[in-house]
Amino acid sequence: MSTLDSSIANVALPTMSAELAAPVHLIQWVLTAYLLTICATLPIMGKLSDMWGRTRVYQFGFLLFAFGSAWCGLSHSLSMLIGSRIIQALGAACLMSNSQAIVAQTFANGDRGRALGIIGTVVSLGSLTGPGIGGILVHHFGWPTIFWINVPIGVMAFIAGMFILPKDSAARREPFDYTGSGLFIVGMTAFLYSLSNAQDWGWSSASAIGGLVGAVLVLVVFFLWEKRTRFPMVDFSLYRIPAFAVGNLTALLVFTANFFTTVLMPFFMQNVLSLSVEHTGYMMMVYPITMAVVAPMSGYLSDRMGSKLLTTAGLFVMLAGFACLLTLSAHASLVLLAVFLAMFGMGSGLFQSPNNASIMGAVPAKKLGSAGGLNALARNVGMVLGTSVSVSIYATGLQHFGGGVATPDPHAMMNALRISFAAGGAVCVLALAVSARRLKL
**286 and 389 in a common domain:** yes
Nearest CA among 219, 196, 189, 181 for reference residue 36: 189
Say how far residue 292 (Cα) sits from the centre of its chain. 16
DSSP state of 235: -
Give the structural domain span for 156: 1-172
**258 and 197 in a common domain:** no
DSSP state of 77: S
The CA distance from 250 to 374, in Å, is 13
**182 and 141 in a common domain:** no
CB 369 within 8 A of CB 99: no
**393 and 377 in a common domain:** yes
Report CA-CA distances (Å) from 172 to 234, 371, 388: 16, 17, 39
**115 and 38 in a common domain:** yes
413 Cβ neighbours under 8 A, 6+ residues apart: 267, 268, 271, 272, 398, 403
**429 and 307 in a common domain:** yes
**157 and 27 in a common domain:** yes
**246 and 339 in a common domain:** yes
pLDDT string in tens for the chain (441-residue length): 777 776 677 667 667 777 888 775 677 777 778 888 888 888 888 878 877 888 888 999 999 999 999 999 888 888 898 899 999 999 988 888 888 778 877 877 767 777 777 777 777 677 666 666 776 777 778 788 888 888 998 899 999 988 888 887 756 667 777 888 888 888 888 888 887 777 778 778 888 899 889 989 998 998 888 888 887 777 778 888 888 888 889 989 998 898 888 778 877 887 788 877 667 767 877 887 888 788 888 877 877 777 788 888 899 999 999 999 998 888 888 899 999 999 998 998 888 888 887 887 777 777 777 777 777 778 878 887 887 788 788 877 877 776 555 555 777 888 888 999 999 999 999 999 988 887 666
**317 and 216 in a common domain:** no
Question: For the stretch 371-393, what's the b/e string if a residue is b when 16 or more beta carbons lie within 10 angstroms of its beta carbon?
Answer: bbbbbbbbbbbbbbbbbbbbbbb
The CA distance from 342 to 313, in Å, is 15
Domain count, the chain: 3
Using only C-alpha atoms, what is the Rg of the chain? 21
How many alpha carbons fall within 13 Å on the CB side of residue 142?
A: 8
Tell which of 195, 213, 230 closes a domain.
230
**135 and 249 in a common domain:** no
**158 and 20 in a common domain:** yes
**16 and 93 in a common domain:** yes
In this structure, what CATH number is given to the domain that contains residue 39?
1.20.1250.20
